Amino acid sequence: MSRFLDEIREQAEVAARLLEESRPAVDAIRARFREVRPKGFVIAARGSSDHAALYAKYLFGSRHRALVALAAPSLFTRYSSPPSLVGQCVIGISQSGEAPDVIAVVEEAVRQGAMTVAITNDAESSLAKASGLVLSLHAGAERSVPASKTYTASLLALALVSQAIDPDDEFRAAIRRVPMSITGVLQAEDAVAPLAPALAGPRAIVLGRGFNFSTAEEVALKLTETSYVLARAWSIADFEHGPIAVVEPGFPVLLVGGGGSVEADLTSIAARLIDYGCRVIGLFDCSSAPRGLEAAVVFDSGLPEELTPLTLGVLGQLLAWRVALARGVDPDQPRALRKITRTW
């Protein structure tokens, strides 16, 4: 049995455990935030964690009207020219807590007196020790090289931080429904199989927008590292500003969407790509999919758009696993990859 698939299937349990066990850490973050009142956020991350940071850019921007910057770690390491972090809430995201360049950003933030938060799966890691506050993912050991449960747990952790900063009864209730929603997605595991043939390789495009731009990035990464499909993600808006020129008849395009404010954009780009003869498929957490797609999975969790990256992330992982099987690739042993990647 695949470790990757095993860990995908653990995610409802992981989400429920995180909700239950994170309360003291979330309360501490709430208290510190109210004490120092940061004017914005700087988030340091790499790989899948960087896609979680992209999700936070939309979440904190939408719910708190806050400016969110994604840190450039090389400014802190290779160039030794860190920007001012005074007055910011600096968040480091790393499943292992051992990414040295993420740690470098947080250490510099501490030196400058900024509020710091570590989101990590190891509460005793170097990142956790460097940071003023720690929100553990409580995901258990993740043995598969491609991240699954630590990615979705990172999204949920960020949603908990957002709720702590700006409490809202409806958002709190929606967060509580996340484990049940993930359970529903996992029960639809076989439904992704019809999408796999379109992604047989060697290349593909994944499109999303808004909150699920991060999902598009993460699914593209999963397809690349588990199946060796050269998948590239774009925001639909950026895609139409030039990259769309690459498409041609038969070109595979995967759409990911959670309804909401950007639903019309997915419908529009789907129609355009179908007219070009592309093989357009989709993963959706909403009431319906655009017409004319070759194949689609539609799972309506009832979650607000802000939380659909959790369900769609799981669907994307299941799809990547199916594509790996179809291509005869072992997703547990992707070539040239290790669980912890050192870029500094």
Tens digit of each residue's pLDDT (9 = 90 or more) over 112-143:
999 999 999 999 999 999 999 999 999 999 98
- Residue 172: which domain range? 3-176
Answer whether the bond into residue 202 is a cis peptide, omega within 30°: yes
Instruction: Give Cα separations from 127 to 97, 108, 150 (angstroms).
Output: 5, 12, 15
Is the pLDDT at 336 greater than 60? The verdict is no
User: Are 8 and 76 within one domain?
Assistant: yes
Averaged pLDDT of the chain: 95
Q: Is 307 helix (H, G, I), strand (E, B) or coil?
A: helix
- Residues 121, 86 share a domain: yes
Distance, CA of 338 to CA of 214 (rounded, Å): 22
What mean pLDDT is predicted for residues 59-86? 97
Cα 251 off chain centre by: 25
Residue 78 domain flag? yes
Give the CA radius of gyration of the chain. 19
Matching residue, tokens 């690349």: 224
The structural domain count of the chain equals: 2
pLDDT tens-place string over residues 242-269: 999 999 999 999 999 999 999 999 999 9
Say whether pLDDT at 344 is over 60: no
Cα 56 from chain centre? 9
Do 225 and 303 lie in a common domain? Answer: yes
Residue identified by tokens 């996340």 is 178
Q: What is the CATH number of the domain that holds 17?
A: 3.40.50.10490
Q: What share of the chain has pLDDT > 90, as a percent?
A: 92
CB-based burial of residue 27 (10 Å sphere; 0-12 exposed, 13-18 middle, 19+ buried)? exposed
Tell me, yes or no, whether 60 and 140 share the same domain: yes
pTM: 0.96
Closest CA to 58 of 300, 307, 315: 307
Q: Are residues 79 and 209 in the same domain?
A: no
Question: pLDDT confidence of 144, banded at 50, 70, 90?
Answer: confident
Note the pLDDT of residue 254.
98
* Whether residue 275 has pLDDT greater than 90: yes
With H, G, I as helix, E, B as strand and everything else as coil, classify residue 217.
Answer: helix
* Final residue in a domain of this structure, among 146, 176, 206: 176
**Looking at the structure, do residues 194 and 165 belong to the same domain, yes or no?**
no
